[in-house]
Amino acid sequence: MSEQLNENILTLKGLKVQFRVGRRLVKAVNGVDLNVRRGKTLGLVGESGCGKSVTAHAIMRLLPKAGFIPEGEVTYYSNEGTVDILKHNPKGKTLRDLRGRQISMIFQDPLASLNPVYRIGDQIVENIRQHNRVPKEAAMKRTVEMLKQLSIPQAEKRVLDYPHQFSGGMKQRVMIAMGLINDPELLIADEPTTALDVTIQAQILELMQDLQKKLGFTIIIITHNMGIVADMADDIAVMYMGKIVEFGSKREIFLNPAHPYTKALLKSVPVLGSGSNSRLEPIRGNTPDPSEMPEGCTFAPRCDFAMDICKTDPPNFDVGGGHMSRCWLCKGGNGQ
């Protein structure tokens, strides 16, 4: 194995994703560079509409018909070899084999991913048998074992139930089971706990962490909740209007945020132990229309520190120790 294979499981270089909406061209992802370290958890955070989910769908090559990738690279460093994902047909055998077996994705809404007319067990068994030549009985046994690992009581009986017979938290556990049933190397979790109450959220996240320790897979968790990444992530990528504006270790992002947007995000969420007198500060203004982006730094219209130079798009500055920030305030570092 090469050194790069040992370090990163996935790299994105200059990834762009655009959508044709009538006569408009919407730039949803606008030049994303990102490294995902093997065996670690990357938190991809930002407000709704900043391009997080679109980035995940581009990695999986699951964009809707109106979406396309005009340029960029997505390279997956599998234990079985390197795959240049964008050079393969989304419906071809290479990516069909990759999805669900080596890279799995948990979507925001389990109701949209589970077929209401098929039993839970049959849906998971089908996922196993798509990628493995195993008898149905063996696949069902594996399904029951996975549901037990995810703390679903009476798993032998629940595999015979339909999705509507499961609570929201249990449906999400089923989605995690489907995602992990083929022992993937990389799990992409797109807002996996959005519709759940806080107690169930904590249970689901703890389950994911426990399984990661046991099985050793890599996680990309996509969320707008800074509390979730504080709990789960090793590295954090902060996304705003289709670009990664800051990247660093969890410690660096929370203790030494360098980008004004990251600082604003942290001020807008409650922090445990901050006391009852601390006040939350909403981020002023609104996100711009993706089809009519402002020139230069896209956060400048909402930024308290905007300068004339912000009319020019800033490069990535190295803040030190792998901590990067796309802001002219960090010009003392080296532009990338």
- List per-residue pLDDT tens for the chain, 336 residues long: 344 455 899 999 999 999 999 888 999 999 999 999 999 999 999 988 899 999 999 999 999 999 999 999 999 998 888 999 999 999 888 998 899 889 999 987 777 789 999 999 999 999 999 888 999 999 999 999 999 988 899 999 999 999 999 998 899 889 989 999 999 999 999 988 877 788 888 888 888 899 999 999 999 999 988 888 999 999 999 999 999 999 999 999 999 999 999 999 998 876 555 555 567 788 888 888 888 888 899 999 999 999 999 999 999 999 988 999 999 999 865 555
Query: Do residues 252 and 328 both lie within one domain?
Result: yes
pLDDT of residue 137: 95
Q: Residue 264's domain is classified under what CATH number?
A: 3.40.50.300
pTM over 0.75: yes
Q: What is the pLDDT of residue 276?
A: 55
Is 287 in the same domain as 173? no
64-68 long-range CB contacts below 8 Å, 24 or more apart?
64/19, 66/19, 66/20, 66/21, 67/17, 67/18, 67/19, 67/28, 68/17, 68/18, 68/19, 68/20
Q: Please indicate, yes or no, if residue 107 is contained in any of the structural domains.
A: no
Task: Give bridge partners of residue 237 from the DSSP assignment.
Answer: 44, 247
128 in the same domain as 92: no
Same domain, 141 and 77: no
Shared-domain flag, residues 123 and 96: no
| Cross-strand partners of 26 | 19
Residues 179 and 195 placed together within one structural domain of the fold: no
* 229 lies in the same domain as 328: yes
Residue 112 within any structural domain of the chain: no
Listed residues 183, 206, 239: the one ending a domain: 183
Structural domain ending residue among the three candidates 183, 203, 223: 183
Q: Which of 147, 166, 183 is the last residue of a domain?
A: 183
Judge if 134 and 219 occupy the same domain: no
250 and 236 assigned to the same domain: yes
Q: What's the number of domains the chain is made of?
A: 2
Residue 109 belongs to some domain of the structure:
no
73 lies in the same domain as 91: yes
Q: Given this model, what pLDDT does residue 281 score? A: 80
91 and 208 assigned to the same domain: yes
Contact 189/212 with Cβ under 8 angstroms?
no
What is the extent of the structural domain holding 167? 117-183
| Statement to judge: residues 207 and 331 lie in one domain | yes
